[in-house]
Amino acid sequence: MSDMTATMLERIAKDDIKFIRLQFSDLMGQPKNVAIPVSQAEKALTDGIGFDGSSIEGFVRIEESDMILKPDPATYTILPWRPAESRVARFICDVHTANGQPFEGDPRYVLKRVLADAAKDGFVFNTGPELEFFLFKMVDGKPTTEFQDTGGYFDLAPTDLAEHV
């Protein structure tokens, strides 16, 4: 067992994790995941976890369906919305073919190749998510589909009722 695997297993045990979500994305960027019990964490970190790639739109045909998810330890995160008594963590994974090669259609692999090419030319490429959300009115404690206010980008109160959110 590698030092990295041992360190991650210690951290998972210390965090009292019960399940792990192995996340990846499809060709359209839609997040997908395979959930495993914590008892499979060592296998996931050393060998990866197999999954049916033909079930993911645009990945592979049924004849090539055996694929492997390999967790990236740097992406370990506890999912904060899960109850403490059944804590769940997640790793973002790299997708590999059955023979252990990176899957050419894995968006993460494509990004890594683009980053390497850009670095050869002296460029640094930074990416990150842009999180957006809407606030809806509540009626009798239940959400509706009516927006909280009529404010748009850069508006102030009183048009933007959610100015302090």
Which helix (H) or strand (E) segment is 164 a member of? none
pTM above 0.85, yes or no: no
Q: Does residue 132 contact residue 138 with C-beta atoms inside 8 Å?
A: no
d(CA 5, CA 69): 15
d(CA 85, CA 103): 36
Q: Taking the domains of the chain in order of start, what are their residue ranges? A: 3-120, 132-165
CB atoms within 10 A of CB 13: 11
Tell me the pLDDT tens digit for each residue of 113-148: 999 999 999 999 887 888 888 888 889 999 899 888
Concatenating the DSSP letter of every residue in 100-131 gives SPBPTT-HHHHHHHHHHHHHHTT---------
Q: CATH classification of 3-120 is 3.40.50.720, yes or no?
A: no
